[in-house]
Amino acid sequence: MEDTRNLIDEYKGLENEQVFDALSKKRTGLEIAIENVEHDFNIGSIVRTANSFNVNKVHIIGKKKYNRRGAMCTDKYLEIVHHATIEDFLKTQENRELVAIENNTPRAKKLHEKTFKKHTTLIFGSENNGITPELLEKAHDVRFIESFGSTRSVNVGAAAAIAMYEWTRQLILSEQ
């Protein structure tokens, strides 16, 4: 029987748990946090991208439900942790650099000027209101993605992909 899942050949024919275990042996030091993102599809898109970059974990802070169709079943291959509160999330982040991707604050600096640390958690917030002030205050660094058209920002799913790639470019691709 042909395996029609969206998997690279190395994982075709394996059970979901076997794929999860194989990926776990080579997870990166990157984690992703999503706080109160309103549009379910965006959460699913971020989860799918997180799988593509083999992040260590995805943290969902606040709202728990999301459109798993956007994740294209990739949520089966990585650890997704729900935190009801910011405090619960922060308890899991000891010895990690928290980098908020947010353009609506004077604290924000250009993403391309960031030198990432191995154990980083990228934080993404609501499309409408951004990251809450409470969580933004806890971030060690705040970065924005430069825009060159008429809109001041890219979609949160696209922002997550750009930021994950930049972390990967610096810490994974530079070693190859």
The answer as to whether 85 is a domain residue is: yes
Mean pLDDT of the chain: 90
The answer as to whether 13 is a domain residue is: no
Structurally, the chain folds into a number of domains equal to 1
Residue 132: CA atoms inside 13 Å, Cβ hemisphere, count?
A: 12
Burial bucket for residue 128 (CB in 10 Å: 0-12, 13-18, 19+):
exposed
Question: Residues of the chain with pLDDT > 70: what percent?
Answer: 93
Burial 64-102 (b: 16+ CB within 10 A, else e): eebebebbeebbebbebeebeebeebbeebeebbbbbbb
**Whether the Cβ atoms of residue 125 and residue 135 lie closer than 8 Å to each other:** yes
> Which residues lie closer than 8 Å to 5 by C-beta, 6 or more apart?
12, 73
Lowest mean pLDDT among 48-52, 70-74, 166-170: 70-74
Task: In whole angstroms, give the CA distance from residue 1 to residue 73.
Answer: 19
CA 73 vs. chain centroid, Å, equals 16
Among candidates 20, 142, 140, 9, which has minimal Cα distance to 73?
20
Mean pLDDT of the region 71-97: 89
The answer as to whether 87 is a domain residue is: yes
Mean pLDDT of the region 81-110: 95
The answer as to whether 21 is a domain residue is: no
- pLDDT value of position 70: 47
Domain that holds residue 67: 28-175
Lowest mean pLDDT among 67-71, 74-78, 141-145, 160-164: 67-71
Mean pLDDT of the region 70-89: 84
Instruction: Tell me the pLDDT tens digit for each residue of 104-123.
Output: 899 999 999 999 999 999 99
Global pTM reads 0.92
Q: What's the CATH number where 52 sits?
A: 3.40.1280.10
The answer as to whether 23 is a domain residue is: no
> Which residues lie closer than 8 Å to 69 by C-beta, 6 or more apart?
41, 44
The answer as to whether 39 is a domain residue is: yes
Instruction: Tell me the pLDDT tens digit for each residue of 142-163.
Output: 999 999 999 888 999 999 999 9
- pLDDT value of position 14: 94
Mean pLDDT of the region 6-23: 93
- Between 127 and 19, name the one with better pLDDT: 19
The answer as to whether 9 is a domain residue is: no
Among candidates 51, 59, 57, which has minimal Cα distance to 30?
57
> Which residues lie closer than 8 Å to 98 by C-beta, 6 or more apart?
33, 120, 121, 123, 138, 139, 140, 141
- pLDDT value of position 39: 67
Question: Residues of the chain with pLDDT > 90: what percent?
Answer: 72
Q: Is the pLDDT at 59 greater than 90, yes or no?
A: yes
The answer as to whether 14 is a domain residue is: no
